[in-house]
Amino acid sequence: MNVISPQAAPPQASSKYDLGFARWVYANVEGGAKMSLCMQCGVCSGSCPLGDAEMDHGPRKLFMMVRAGMKDAVLGSTTIFNCTSCYNCVVRCPREVPVQYILQSLATKAVAEGYAEAVKTDNTRFSGAFNWSTAKFGRTDERLMTAKYYFSFGLIAAMKMSMANLKIALSMIKRKRMHLGAPHRIKGTGELRAILAKAAEIESSAGGGS
Amino acid sequence: MTSKKYTYYPGCSSEGSGSHLHVSTTAVAEKLGIELVELDDWNCCGASVAHVDGGYLPTVALSARNLALASGQGDQDIFITCAACYLKSHQANEKIRGGENMRGKVNDALGAAGMSYDGGLSVRHACEVFVNDIGLDAIKKQVSNPLDGLKVAGYVGCQTVRPFANTERGGNFDTYDDPSFLDDFIEACGAEAVEFDNKTSCCGGAIALMSPDKSMGLIKNILEEAKQKEADCIATPCPLCQQNVEMYQDMINKEFGTGYQIPVVFHTQIMAVAFGLDANKDAALDRNTIAADKLTKIANKN
């Protein structure tokens, strides 16, 4: 709500503002320490392919929200999930703030902290399907990963999504670009799972991402 | 010609949606004196999505296993064709090289499988190898079937150049906003590279796969400019760009009332044709869902 509007509600004392949040981000998010260098110039938001259309706040504004301690609004934002990883912001930032790395790391934190908005995003479902395939086979089986992703929305939604993409799938099969038959499986799946489990254990004990 | 040896990491798309990049790269590499030895038992790099649900360190660890396996195959550079595989592998390698803290954590994780990695290798993009190790003159020398009259829109995309193309460890091979390497490859093959303002615009990447509605507009911009510039085809080095820009054309036509039918090929498919190689066996032109008719015709006249 616009604060200068006469209809604006009075500020509420709430947990919406967590003044320790910025410090937590600086210490725990990849590239977070450099966020304090942000001078709010807006090159990142201006360079962002989906900033206008699909993000509730551009990266510039999101960084100010971090400073203001708006933890719930930041970790519940669509900004951190609609980053396409184009890296325009990273190479253009005049202060060399690694914007994409920070957004990516915030998305991981939002899911790990169980933010409802974060947990139900397409990205979290897609990432889950992707990691399922990697842990099971060692590689991404595009066909099974996609099916797993569709079914994360439920049976009926999965049927609809499959039908909408049927023509694409058939053309890929015809052109030898969709693998049929048993998934390609690496020899070292056990080894890979042991590495991933250990990495997850280290990450949770350190609590950090940088 | 004496060959230079690399450890080749083809990535998961090479077994599916990007199989034509794998086929054409293998064919072209042989002509250019690039000896590719596939990384044995390689795993997925995690691309732009694994971190969301998988966490930060596990995502680095995915690449770390590949790097550890590669160091067991010798100290030659790692050669990667896929933009996302390159990005994640190079990024992980630089993180491991960059600090003892990260190197220690990664090696603790690798230790769970009795593996280790010290950061001693270099991870390189195939296009950077073409530019820095092979050179345009050597590419031109292989051209026996120049692509006269073919107009190509060189679409680089994002992660092939960003954020490493203009760094020392990334080989300093081009700029982030206006790279010339792809146009140079196209022209070396005898085709015309049209001015293409969208050459480094984003197609939506993985967002286009999971939520096509969000990034159809981005892909449309790329297609529209290619049409305006009367390009016979779009050429890209990135398997995800190739897939997104090609496979969503029907969906975009339905949504926007357009009539795009623009072939999207890999730079290596173009090179394979110019090098006089077979249209299907080497250039894998039979794998494009929108047939690159003009390019195929040139290949078959040979």
Whether B134 is covered by a domain: the verdict is: no
Residues B108 and B39 in one domain: yes
Residues B161 and B297 in one domain: yes
Q: For B214-231, what is each residue's pLDDT tens digit? A: 999 999 999 999 999 999
Question: Given B43, B106, B163, which is nearest A186 (Cβ)?
Answer: B43
Q: For B281-300, what is each residue's pLDDT tens digit? A: 999 999 999 999 999 999 99
> What is the pLDDT, as a whole number, of residue A206?
74
Residues B235 and B293 in one domain: yes
Of B194, B175, B89, which is closest to residue B131 (Cα–Cα)?
Answer: B175
Share of chain B above pLDDT 70, in %: 99
> What is the pLDDT, as a whole number, of residue B171?
98
Q: Look at the alpha carbons of B42, B48, B51, B57 in this order and tell me if their dihedral is positive or negative.
A: positive
| CATH code for the domain defined by A21-119 | 1.10.1060
Contact A126 B286 (CB under 8 A): no
Q: Is the bond preceding B239 in cis, omega lying within 30 degrees of 0? A: no
The confidence band for A5, taking pLDDT boundaries of 50, 70 and 90, is very low
Share of chain A above pLDDT 90, in %: 87
Question: Given A49, A90, A200, which is nearest B162 (Cβ)?
Answer: A90
Residue B150 has pLDDT above 60, yes or no: yes
Residues of chain B contacting residue A123, judged by C-beta atoms under 8 Å apart: 49, 52, 207, 210
Instruction: Identify the CATH number of the domain in which residue B255 sits.
Output: 3.40.50.11810
The mean per-residue pLDDT over the stretch A34-59 comes to: 96
Q: What is the ipTM of this complex?
A: 0.96
Q: For B83-94, what is each residue's pLDDT tens digit? A: 999 999 999 999
Q: For A76-116, what is each residue's pLDDT tens digit? A: 999 999 999 999 999 999 999 999 999 999 999 999 999 99
Best residue of A90, A91, A167 to probe chain B, by most B CBs closer than 10 Å: A91
> What is the pLDDT, as a whole number, of residue A209?
45
Decide: helix, strand or coil at residue A60. helix
Residue B158 belongs to domain spanning: 139-301
Q: Which of A137-146, A198-207, B41-50, B62-71 has the lowest mean pLDDT?
A: A198-207
Residues B160 and B297 in one domain: yes
Residue-averaged pLDDT of chain B: 97
Closest Cα in chain A, distance from residue B115 (Å) = 9
Q: Which of B72, B94, B126 is the last residue of a domain?
A: B126
Domain boundaries, chain A: 21-119, 122-206
> What is the pLDDT, as a whole number, of residue A14?
52
Contact B57 A178 (CB under 8 A): no
The confidence band for A210, taking pLDDT boundaries of 50, 70 and 90, is very low
Q: Which of B93, B126, B159 is the last residue of a domain?
A: B126
Decide: helix, strand or coil at residue B111. helix
Closest Cα in chain B, distance from residue A4 (Å) = 33
Of B204, B141, B180, which is closest to residue A53 (Cα–Cα)?
Answer: B204
Residues B145 and B197 in one domain: yes
Share of chain B above pLDDT 90, in %: 98
Beta carbons within 10 angstroms of residue A61's beta carbon: 18
Question: Given B65, B105, B201, which is nearest A202 (Cβ)?
Answer: B105
Residue A11 has pLDDT above 80, yes or no: no
Residues B118 and B201 in one domain: no
Residues B293 and B153 in one domain: yes
Of A134, A104, A101, A79, which is closest to residue A34 (Cα–Cα)?
Answer: A101
Contact B57 A209 (CB under 8 A): yes
Tokens 């790692």 correspond to B78
Residues B115 and B213 in one domain: no
> What is the pLDDT, as a whole number, of residue B1?
59
Residue A36 has pLDDT above 60, yes or no: yes
Name the residue of chain A whose CA is nearest to B22's CA: A177
A vs B, Cβ pairs < 8 A, gives: 211
The mean per-residue pLDDT over the stretch B31-54 comes to: 96
Contact A188 B41 (CB under 8 A): yes
Whether B131 is covered by a domain: the verdict is: no
> What is the pLDDT, as a whole number, of residue B301?
87
Name the residue of chain B whose CA is nearest to A141's CA: B12
Residue B46 has pLDDT above 80, yes or no: yes
Closest Cα in chain B, distance from residue A102 (Å) = 12
Provide the number of structural domains found in chain B: 2
Q: For B126-141, what is each residue's pLDDT tens digit? A: 999 999 999 999 999 9
> What is the pLDDT, as a whole number, of residue A108?
95
B12 touches chain A (CB under 8 A): yes
Residues B48 and B164 in one domain: no
Residue B204 has pLDDT above 60, yes or no: yes
Of A47, A22, A41, A35, which is closest to residue A98 (Cα–Cα)?
Answer: A35
> What is the pLDDT, as a whole number, of residue A207?
55
Residue-averaged pLDDT of chain A: 91
Residues B16 and B105 in one domain: yes
The mean per-residue pLDDT over the stretch B203-219 comes to: 96
> What is the pLDDT, as a whole number, of residue A4?
47
Instruction: Identify the CATH number of the domain in which residue B35 sits.
Output: 1.20.1050.140
Contact B44 A196 (CB under 8 A): no
Beta carbons within 10 angstroms of residue A95's beta carbon: 13
Contact B109 A198 (CB under 8 A): yes
Closest Cα in chain B, distance from residue A107 (Å) = 6
Decide: helix, strand or coil at residue B118. coil
**Chain B residues 198-257 within an 8 A CB cutoff of chain A:** 201-202, 204-207, 209-211, 214-215, 217-218, 247, 250
The confidence band for A118, taking pLDDT boundaries of 50, 70 and 90, is very high
Q: Which of B126, B148, B177 is the last residue of a domain?
A: B126
Contact A112 B158 (CB under 8 A): no
Residues B29 and B53 in one domain: yes
> What is the pLDDT, as a whole number, of residue A48?
97
Which residues of chain B form beta strands (DSSP E)? 4-9, 34-38, 78-80, 123-125, 151-154, 192-193, 233-236, 264-266
CA gap B55, B78 in Å, rounded: 25
- For A98, phi and psi rounded to 5 degrees? -80, 75
Of B11, B97, B90, B112, which is closest to residue A200 (Cα–Cα)?
Answer: B112
Residues B70 and B217 in one domain: no
Residue A13 has pLDDT above 70, yes or no: no
Whether B208 is covered by a domain: the verdict is: yes
CA gap A146, A140 in Å, rounded: 10
Q: For B103-128, what is each residue's pLDDT tens digit? A: 999 999 999 999 999 999 999 999 99
Q: For B243-272, what is each residue's pLDDT tens digit? A: 999 999 999 999 999 999 999 999 999 999
